[in-house]
Amino acid sequence: MKIAIYGAGAIGAHLGGMLSRAGADVALIARGPHLAAMQANGLVCKFQDGSEFTARPKATDDPATLGVQDFVIVTLKAHQSAGVVGPMQPLLGPDTAVVTAMNGVPWWYFHGLGGAHAGRTLETVDPGRAQWTGIGPERAIGMVVHPAVEITAPGVIQHMEGDAYPIGEPSGEKTARITALSDALTAAGLRAPIRAKIRDDIWMKLWGNLCLNPVSALTGATLAGLGRDAATKALLFTLAAEGRAVGEAVGARFRVTAERRLAAAFEVGEHKTSMLQDLERGRPMEIDALVTAVTELGAIVGVETPMLNAVLALVQLRARTAGLYPT
């Protein structure tokens, strides 16, 4: 089985290292010092118990050198994915599946869902239908990323917690390809349950992100800090209610209450959300996939999102002020 990891940062390298150790034919597509270190010394994967191993998958910044793959797992930031449709083409054969292992609403959301909006695309996450036409929704497999991993030095990743990567076909079918992917990930020591309704898993992660990320970027507060302020907590619950209304209107099922979902986030402690970290590091934030796309979905299904709209406007302005969002 040939698997390319497109965007092999922390999560992508973790996946690639584990799969490579298990015997899969893995190629990591990366750039910069991280790529150079992996090419020179291999990929060092470290764990909380002090154990580690070094994997030596192929590593390159040129997808054209790799040939057609069975699976391409895209682990880029959501706003970067449309930009790699062209460079990705040499990896795509007639049966290649493209696994979206990114935060937020996926570009293929309405594929295989049926109903009045079947085949509709989302401009906020797929401008100009670039991915829909350049990759094709029939290739798409959904993946939700739960582990926490970080790059501690070029070519070195530290696994912090978690091993679950739920996957699913947009149609909900249990196909041969989804079974093969689950088997490969399981053989690598990861949990990859096949979900009949992968959108429910996507929404459970998105639900917290669409509330916590923009408010943390606006306030500079950690997760615990957001939970300590009564007025901010009230705002977060309002955002959660609006998000849930949108999700349910497009068929998602929420397995827990907003109280439980947000409490779990507050209990993580003095941790900065990914959006706040990106802002502090001068990197573009995943505003569109995590927030704008939810307001776009709300407009499509007729669910009003006034507080989400207000927070979105503020975080977009914050990002523009920092030169991190289109004007």
Q: How far is CA 70 from the centre of its chain?
A: 20
Nearest 5°: CA angle at 224, between 220 and 229? 75
Residues annotated as catalytic (active site), given as ranges: 205
Matching residue, tokens 């049966």: 95
Helices (H), 75-160: 85-88, 130-134
| Degrees to nearest 5, angle at CA 95 with 102 and 140 | 25
CA distance 201 to 249: 16
Which positions ≥6 away from 203 have C-beta within 8 Å?
247, 252, 254
Spatial contact of 56 and 43, defined as CB atoms under 8 Å apart:
yes
